[in-house]
Amino acid sequence: MKISQIFFLSLKNLADRKIRSILTISGVCIGFGFIVYLLSLGYGVEKLTTDQISSPDTLSIFEISLSEDGESRAIDDKNIAEIGNINNVEHVEAAAILPASINVGPVKNDTIVKAYTRKFFELEELKIINGRLFIEDDSREVLITKGLQKILNISDNESFFPALDVKIMTNLALSPTNESDDLILIKSLKVVGIIEDDSPSVIVPFKTVRSSIDLVNYNVARVKVIDANNLTETRRQVEKLGFSTNYIGDTVSQIKSFFNIFRFILMGFGIIAMIVALLGMFNTLTVSLLERTQEIGVMKSLGAKRKTIWWLFISESLIIGFLGGVLGIIMGNIAGKATNTIFNFYALQNGGRAVDFFYTPIYLVLVMLILSILVGLITGLYPAKRAVKIKLLDAIKYE
Amino acid sequence: MINNKISDNVVLGRMDSHNLIIQVGNIDKDFEVATEYIKVLHNITLTILEGEFIIITGPSGCGKSTLLHTISGWEEPTFGNVLLFGEDIYAKDEEERAIFCNKKMTMVSQKSYWVNSLNVLENIALPYLISGYNKKEASKKAMQLLNLLELEELAYYKPADLSGGQQQRINLLRALINNPDIVLADEPTGNLDSLNTTFVMDLFQKINKDLKRTVIVVTHNPNFLDFATRVIIMKDGRIADTILNEPNFVSTKPVGDILDLKKHGLKIEKKDWLK
Ligand SMILES: Nc1ncnc2c1ncn2[C@@H]1O[C@H](COP(=O)(O)OP(=O)(O)OP(=O)(O)O)[C@@H](O)[C@H]1O
Ligand SMILES: [Mg+2]
């Protein structure tokens, strides 16, 4: 008997016992759906976090900052040159971050000024969502964050971007020649772009700031290495020189290991649901075997081979497993997307941000599909083996 | 009545190697019941010629069904052997035997058993599908068979919803779809009224007379004994007597296809009971 015909026969049999088939398939579907839902949630939240690593370059850059206790070495031109001489260092770029207030016409607001070079901007991998970067490191152009744009109520239309005045509060550590807490005014800086960031700050070209303030020390620098695999070693060398460093890779691996445990726990719940579903499926197949003893006898009396009888049961459980799996993947996804949408709806209403914390990697779908087929095969093995063993005459001779 | 030993010799005397279709040789069958063995068949020897119509009869429990099952390849004898077209079927393993026997013969049972999820057409087509034909060929053939008995309107019913008479006709069609050389039947009319009984027995006779198929029917019904070329009467697991209805029976080869019955003037009288 052709395999396609055996599958057809199994489908007929499942259709003949509709309610039971639907219940069984639903059970498997819920099991798979639950696993897909939970795992996708785990992957989604992880992705949300690790997505902050925007490019492969991210992992070859680390940051030098001033330690909280003030013990670390100052970041100045001489020290930067020293770091630049370390093997494996491709480039070092420094920047200064200073408290400030800004004026746009009559509106005044406290904010932070970030004195960045174009190069530093690039190394920080900031994302411009509207407009462009300043042209030169001494241009009288600035970028503002989305957070500040909101506060100042600035339109999204580039041609309406205003000019602003900044008043920078000097700092002895950075500019020892200035008076402490002096307010240095830099007038009419044209806003040319908006960057994706919810905290309010202004990015001013580095040299534009330095022409007004006598900057000697900086409070942050970024180091790009040639070979990211040796970054740890380079970073150690830099720390030996007395600097404190941060590396996003640290956070990423922490997040990864956290989510591995998280997924494991979610998986545990899913597996419990799955086991319940499998018991249901096994029960259905066993009952089906008992009910169909006579049919197996008929098939045998009409010349069906053992292989045919075996496939008859395996195909039935494969169909249940596969349908349950496919529906489960779909249901898990729909449920996840729905949760996400409802969450975002409330988040947006309460002034939050819409995020995708639900993500099903394609390989998860494939693994689940293969798993559903395996599950079908394995649950079918025992009933199939018993069906093959049924003796023709035992099955049909006596009622 | 002629003694069993003599009659078998009579048959043997008229045989040549070509027309021996079934040879049952010195068969014993013991069944294990609790710790005891019960002998159900005692040293049965039976030679059947191609084209014969054999009726096996005898009191209940005398071993008729068991004998038929040993011939069909379903029940291995404790002792002795069964040759089908000269081949010892119990020398083959179970799977080979099933394939070999199903190619040559078919069994019609008293009660019809169905694959319940399939309709009439699909049930009839089943042996054809099992033989490896595709669905289209099988459905076509099954429909032709339904047409033969003018039962097309039952094609899409579930067999279990039909009357006993209708079911037995469908059962017959299913048994015949592979165009077997030998038709075995175990009390095929046991559950039927006299109209249906006559129809079924007439059909067996036609299959034997017109298509020259070998037919072996187990029956309690004494009304049709003269359809047979030979009547075998069993008692307590032995052949007690043989009636030779055609002492000069000449063996024949099968001709044509089951569907040819129409050409041979198969008459169907549509009766109310078909509804
Ligand atoms: N599988 C079995 N196990 C034990 N005993 C069996 C088995 N099959 C048949 N028998 C016994 O063998 C004897 C013959 O049975 P069989 O069915 O061949 O009789 P029969 O002539 O066909 O009877 P009936 O006319 O009632 O159908 C009976 O006593 C029966 O109980
Ligand atoms: Mg019987």
Given B75, B101, B114, which is nearest A298 (Cβ)?
A: B114
pLDDT at A277: 84
* Segment B95-127, tens digit of pLDDT: 899 999 999 899 998 888 999 999 999 999 999
CA atoms of A270 and A264, how far apart (whole Å): 10
Mutate to test the pocket of ligand 1, among B33, B37, B38, B40 (most ligand atoms within 8 A of CB): B40
| A3 vs B: CB within 8 A | no
pLDDT in tens, chain A (399 residues): 888 999 999 999 999 989 999 999 999 999 999 899 988 988 888 787 777 665 677 888 888 888 777 777 788 888 888 888 888 889 999 899 988 989 888 888 899 999 999 999 888 888 888 889 999 988 899 999 998 888 888 888 888 888 889 988 877 777 777 776 778 888 888 999 999 888 889 999 999 988 888 888 888 999 999 988 888 889 898 888 888 888 877 777 777 788 788 878 888 888 888 888 888 888 888 888 888 888 899 999 999 999 999 999 999 999 999 999 999 999 999 999 999 999 888 888 877 677 888 899 999 999 999 999 999 999 999 999 999 999 888 888 654
* Maximum pairwise Cα distance, chain B: 56
pLDDT, chain B, mean: 89
- From chain A, pick out residues whose CB is under 8 angstroms from the CB of B135: 5, 8
| ipTM of the prediction greater than 0.85, yes or no | yes
Q: Which residues 61-100 in chain A show a CB within 8 A of chain B?
A: none
CA atoms of A111 and A120, how far apart (whole Å): 20
Backbone angles phi, psi at A18, to 5 degrees: -55, -55
| A319 vs B: CB within 8 A | no
Q: Which residues 109-128 in chain A show a CB within 8 A of chain B?
A: none
CA atoms of B168 and B155, how far apart (whole Å): 14
Task: Check the CA dihedral A142-A145-A151-A154 and report its sign.
Answer: positive
Cβ–Cβ of B98/A300 closer than 8 Å?
Answer: yes
Q: What is the DSSP string of A268-335?
A: HHHHHHHHHHHHHHHHHHHHHHHHTHHHHHHHHHTT--HHHHHHHHHHHHHHHHHHHHHHHHHHHHHH
Q: How many Cα neighbours within 13 Å face the side chain of B199?
A: 20
Cβ–Cβ of A12/B114 closer than 8 Å?
Answer: no
Helix (H, G, I), strand (E, B) or coil at B114: coil
- From chain A, pick out residues whose CB is under 8 angstroms from the CB of B126: 298-299, 302
Assess contact for A258 and A353: CB atoms under 8 A.
no
* Segment B48-66, tens digit of pLDDT: 999 999 999 999 999 999 9
pLDDT at A19: 92
**Minimal CA–CA distance to A335: which of A360, A365, A370?**
A360
Assess contact for B128 and B138: CB atoms under 8 A.
yes
CA atoms of B146 and A175, how far apart (whole Å): 104
Cβ neighbours of residue A334 under 8 Å, at least 6 residues apart? none
Ligand 1 center–CA B252 separation, angstroms: 33
Q: pLDDT grade, residue B2 (50/70/90)?
A: very low
CA distance B83 to chain A (A): 19
In the structure, how many helices (H) and strands (E) does chain A have?
12, 12
CB pairs under 8 A between A and B: 65
Beta partners for residue A224, in sequence order:
A61, A91
* Segment B246-259, tens digit of pLDDT: 988 888 899 989 88
Assess contact for A227 and A90: CB atoms under 8 A.
no
For residue B75, which atom of ligand 1 is closest to its CA?
Answer: 1
- From chain B, pick out residues whose CB is under 8 angstroms from the CB of A305: 95, 98-99
| A298 vs B: CB within 8 A | yes
Helix (H, G, I), strand (E, B) or coil at A253: helix
For residue A205, the 8-state DSSP code is E
**Minimal CA–CA distance to A208: which of A190, A226, A233, A228?**
A190
Cα-based distances in Å from A78 to A97, A283, B150, B274: 19, 77, 106, 109
Residue type at position A249 = G
CA atoms of A237 and A232, how far apart (whole Å): 9
pLDDT at B8: 56
Ligand 1 center–CA B30 separation, angstroms: 11
Q: Give Cα A249 to chain centroid, integer Å.
A: 15
Nearest CA in chain A to B177: A302
Residue type at position B240 = A
- Ligand in closest contact with the CA of B67: 1
The residue ranking higher by pLDDT, A56 or B172, is: B172
Cα-based distances in Å from B113 to A311, B94, B98, B116: 21, 22, 18, 9
**Minimal CA–CA distance to B98: which of A294, A1, A2?**
A1
For residue B218, which atom of ligand 1 is closest to its CA?
Answer: 22
Assess contact for B155 and B121: CB atoms under 8 A.
yes
CA atoms of A83 and A234, how far apart (whole Å): 10
Mutate to test the pocket of ligand 1, among A391, A397, A398, A399 (most ligand atoms within 8 A of CB): A397
Assess contact for B228 and B56: CB atoms under 8 A.
no
CB atoms within 10 A of CB A345: 11
Is the predicted pLDDT of residue B6 greater than 60, yes or no?
no
The domain B20-259: what is its CATH number? 3.40.50.300
Nearest CA in chain B to A392: B74
Q: Tell me which residue has its CA closest to atom 22 in ligand 1.
A: B65
Is the predicted pLDDT of residue B208 greater than 70, yes or no?
yes
Cα-based distances in Å from A391 to A394, A397, B32, B74, B228: 5, 10, 16, 9, 32
For testing the chain A interface, which of B117, B158, B174 should be mutated: the one with the most A CBs within 10 Å? B117
Assess contact for A383 and A313: CB atoms under 8 A.
yes
Q: pLDDT grade, residue B5 (50/70/90)?
A: very low
For residue B66, which atom of ligand 1 is closest to its CA?
Answer: 18
Beta partners for residue B32, in sequence order:
B37
CA atoms of B152 and A322, how far apart (whole Å): 37
Burial class (CB in 10 A: 0-12, 13-18, 19+), A141: buried
Residue type at position A172 = L
CA atoms of B56 and B36, how far apart (whole Å): 28
Given A13, A304, A396, which is nearest B113 (Cβ)?
A: A396
Helix (H, G, I), strand (E, B) or coil at A392: helix
Cβ–Cβ of A2/B111 closer than 8 Å?
Answer: no
Q: Note the helical H segments in B15-106.
A: 64-72, 94-104
Please report, to the nearest 10 degrees, the dihedral formed by the alpha carbons of residues B33, B191, B264, B57 taken in order.
40
For residue A86, the 8-state DSSP code is S
Ligand 1 center–CA B63 separation, angstroms: 6
For residue A130, the 8-state DSSP code is E
Q: Please report which helix (H) or strand (E) contains residue A371, including its range.
A: helix A362-389
Cα-based distances in Å from B192 to B163, B169, B176, B273: 10, 11, 19, 12
Q: Which residues 43-72 in chain B show a CB within 8 A of chain A?
A: 65, 69
Helix (H, G, I), strand (E, B) or coil at A344: helix
Which residues contact ligand 1 via a Cβ below 6 A? B 31, 33, 40, 60-66
pLDDT at A144: 92
Structure token digits, residue B184: 């075995």
Q: How many Cα neighbours within 13 Å face the side chain of B79?
A: 10
